[in-house]
A and B are shown apart, each in its own frame.
Chain A
């Protein structure tokens, strides 16, 4: 009884307390972040074939906005998923203590809104269960990520065949690192435990950047 109460109630209380503090400090973080302009270099994944070939070299380098990374454990962004009524503050890092505060951004993966594959992990059952309803997302659903640069909008894409189950969900083993590997374009990968009340597998949601401060440069539109 004590264990169940601790996991399903007390951990939620702890996370709700941390989330309030993190959300309150987010505006200050936005003020402190250093934003710089860098030349855009497209992510090229080894072994892939380019889908388009530019007719001529672009004489003007494309400029990308990039924000400075936060310290591990600090809040740096907010994720909103209207479909599942989620609004949560994201911290840098995926250590056990980081994920107790809220979903965490995998350090080393690009920040949301940047080229490549930005990975965010979160609890499914305990500690506020921010990603508890991630299995309800389907292709086309919108994911909004607000960072110091502005609002980045992603759209959920269909689960790749290599991990798609009978329900159309992408389910992998916890050791399937390929889901975190760099991708061409700009992607957001959300990971959580699967099924609910078990850490045996991981549920993965892939979403692609469709709009935002860097979208025009990355998508080439």
Chain B
């Protein structure tokens, strides 16, 4: 629903809008995985001493 709204509000031709949304989705995915990595260090940082 929200994705559809954003898509309709984007300017430009359809292929450009799709490309822009795919790129934004990829960036969000990378940021989410990166945050998982950082949060994961709280669970288990690898067990190093002094590192």
* Per-position binary interface string of chain A over residues 1-23, scored 1 when its CB falls under 8 Å from any chain B CB and 0 otherwise: 01100110001000000000000
| CB pair A7 B49 closer than 8 Å | no
Residue of A nearest to B44 (CB): A125
B1 at the interface (CB under 8 A from A): no
Chain A residues positioned under 8 Å from B27 (CB to CB) = none
| CB pair B40 A11 closer than 8 Å | yes
A205 and B47 alpha carbons, distance in the complex (Å) = 12
Chain B residues positioned under 8 Å from A203 (CB to CB) = 47
B46 at the interface (CB under 8 A from A): yes
Nearest CB on A from B25, distance (A)? 15
Partner of A199, one of B33, B36, B45, B50: B45
A199 and B38 alpha carbons, distance in the complex (Å) = 12
* Per-position binary interface string of chain B over residues 16-51, scored 1 when its CB falls under 8 Å from any chain A CB and 0 otherwise: 000000000000000011001001111111111111
| CB pair A193 B47 closer than 8 Å | yes
Chain A residues positioned under 8 Å from B48 (CB to CB) = 94, 99, 104, 106, 121, 174, 191
9 tightest CB-CB pairs across the interface, nearest first? Answer: A192-B47, A99-B46, A125-B44, A199-B45, A121-B47, A121-B48, A126-B44, A177-B50, A6-B36
